[in-house]
Amino acid sequence: MRYILRRLGFYLVALWAAITLDFFLPRLLPGDPAATILGTGGQLDPSQIQAVKEALGLSDQPLILQYFTYLTHVVRGDFGISFSNFPVPVISVILTGLWWTLLLGGSSVIISFIIGNLVGIFGSWRRGGAVDSFVPPLLVFIGAFPPFFLGLCAVYLLGFQLHWFPTRHAYEDTLTPGFDPAFFGSVIQHMLLPVLVLVLTQLGGWALGMRNTMVAILAEDYITMAEAKGLTQNRIMFRYAARNAMLPSITAFGIVLGFVLSGQLLIEQIFSYPGLGFLLISSVQKLDYPLMQGLFLMITFAVLVINFIVDIIYTRLDPRVRAG
């Protein structure tokens, strides 16, 4: 419990840091930030201008007051109005993307986590086998490809040339979202290629990390003891070694998540997949500053929440942490 509270405290600090960073971002713009930002807004009426200024912390108040006005807006989820989707509030734009990002990211992380860890476990166990000598360098090779380049190649080859997969959007444009099999089928069909690319780029990281931890764990005394006890290979490999080797994998999850997300942002862009990454990149290209700032905060927030959930899972898996 103490551990959980400590983690929670840390995430709150992290969230505050991100919010504060977000507040200072517009001030990095050359010239008068308010003028620059509003200059891109175009069609705003005076009350909207005031609302956007307050939400971005760019009102005419002294800095400290601006900061507090900004904070209250953030807490209310008010990030202003998205210029590129005028006059939709930033928060509604973000919420449309959030679920698609979670869907795409969640499935690719889960798939690559499972496959990668299995490869790592078997590779470290069967010394001298193909999984150990041949697969890791191959994974390093695939992992070296920038995710978006792999995405480009996949779209070109498997999409445009071979027509095996749809290459853009999250579902067929003719369908309306709803609880019907046609819609779900289309969603899955549209996910296949981006998930494949994401899994390929993440696999190596999980597999090599797991393999190295396994090799370290296999040298632990309690593994020697388990072997001396005459337990079966499977029990030692999974219940003793892999079970414990998972723990560092899980603690590393937060860091890995950052990398995964980075890859995913561009993949969404390439597949025109309507998630947060696609929104972020198009907001950058359209100079929609309020949306950019809101997206950065929302992405950070999502990452922190997921990290916190992983921490809670971790305490279930490691009794040493549970005790405090």
Partner 1 sequence: MDTHKKVAHTPNGQQTPSPEAVDVPVASPEGHPIEQPGRQEQPVEIEGTPAGQIVVAPPATLPVPTRQRLVWLRTLLKNPKALVGIAIVVFFILVAVLAPVIAPGDPTEFVDAPNLPPSAAHLFGTEGQGKDVFRQTVWGAQISLLIGFATGLLITIVSTVIGMTAGYFRGRVDDLLTLLTNLFLVIPGLPLLIILSAFLSPGTGTIIGTLAFTGWAFGARVKRSQTLSLREKDFVAAAKVSGESGFRIIFSEIMPNMISIIMGSFISSTTYAIGASTALAFIGLGNVSEVTWGTNLYWAQNGGAILQGAWWTFVPSGLCVALVAFGLSFINYALDEVTNPRLRAEKELNRTLKGTAFKKTKTRATPVLRQSQPK
Partner 2 sequence: MSQSQIKIARQVQNETLLDVRDLRVEYLSPKGPVRAVDGVSFSIAPGEVLGLAGESGSGKSTIAHALLRVLRPPALITGGEVRFKGKDVLSLAEHELEAFRWQDISMVFQSAMNSLNPVMKVGDQIADVLVKHKKISKKEAWQRAGELFDIVNIDKKRLDAYPHELSGGMRQRAVIAIALALNPPMMIMDEPTTALDVVVQKEIMQQIEELKEKMGFSILFITHDMSLMVEFSNRIAIMYAGEIVEMAPAREIFENPLHPYTKGLISSFPPLVGPKHKMTGIPGSPPNMAEPPTGCRFHPRCTMCQPVEKVVNPTLQEVLPGHWLAYHEGMPGV
Footprint on this chain of partner 2 (rule: CB under 8 A) = 127, 218-222, 224-233, 235, 239-240, 243-244, 247, 317-320, 323
Q: In the set 170, 266, 290, 311, which binds partner 1 (CB under 8 A)? A: 266
Angle at 213 between CA 10 and CA 120, to 5 degrees: 115
Q: Which stretch binds partner 1 (CB under 8 A): 77-85, 90-98, 252-260, 313-321?
A: 252-260
Of positions 77, 143, 166, 248, contacts partner 1 by CB under 8 A: 143
Selection from 108, 120, 195 nearest residue 150 by Cα: 195
User: Of these, 74, 94, 198, 265, which contacts partner 1 (CB under 8 A)?
Assistant: 265
Which of partner 2, partner 1, none binds 293 (CB below 5-8 Å, type-dependent)? partner 1
Q: Which does 320 bind (CB under 5 to 8 A by kind): partner 2, partner 1, none?
A: partner 2
263 closest CA partner among 99, 118, 150: 150
111 is a site residue for partner 1 (CB under 8 A): no
Distance from the first to the final alpha carbon of the chain = 7
List residues bridging with 81 in a β-sheet.
89
Closer CB to partner 1, 46 or 230, in the complex:
230
For the record, the structure tokens of 50 come out as 């005031």
CB of 151 to partner 1, least distance (A): 10
Interacting residues with partner 1 between 29 and 58 (CB under 8 A): 29-30
In the complex, what is the shortest distance from the CB of residue 250 to partner 1, in angstroms, rounded to a whole number?
A: 15
Give the orientation angle of helix 253-270 with respect to helix 90-125, to 10 degrees. Answer: 120
Binders in 305-324 for partner 1, by CB under 8 A: 307
Q: How far is the CB of 69 from partner 2 (least distance, A)?
A: 49
Q: Is 136 in the site for partner 1 (CB under 8 A)?
A: yes
Partner in contact with 128, chosen from partner 1, partner 2, none, beta carbon below 5 to 8 Å by kind: partner 1
Smallest distance, Å, CB 252 to partner 2? 17
The residue type of 131 is V
Tokens standing for residue 120: 């790592």
- Cβ within 8 Å of residue 45, ≥6 positions away: none
Among 40, 92, 189, 262, binds partner 1 (CB under 8 A): 262
Contact between residue 290 and residue 52 where contact means Cβ atoms under 8 Å apart: yes
| Residue 20 Cβ vs partner 2, minimum distance, rounded to whole Å | 38
Q: Is the dihedral of CA 282, 284, 289, 292 positive or negative?
A: positive
Q: How is residue 151 written in tokens?
A: 């995405």
Does 166 contact partner 1 by CB under 8 A? Answer: no
Encoded amino acid at 61, one letter: Q
**In this structure, what token pair is assigned to residue 263?**
């890859």
Q: What's the rounded Cα separation, in Å, for the pair 321 and 324? A: 5
CB 159 within 8 A of CB 193: yes
Give yes or no for residue 141 binding partner 1 (CB under 8 A). yes
DSSP characters for 133-182? HTHHHHHHHHHHS-HHHHHHHHIIIIIIIT--S--SSSS-TTS--SSSHH
Kindly list the residues in this chain that would bind partner 1 in the complex (CB under 8 A). 10-11, 13-14, 17-18, 21, 25-26, 28-30, 125-129, 133, 136-137, 140-141, 143-146, 148-149, 152-153, 155-156, 160-161, 208, 212, 215-216, 218-219, 227, 233, 254-255, 257-259, 261-262, 265-266, 269, 280-281, 284-285, 287, 289, 292-293, 295-296, 299-300, 303-304, 307
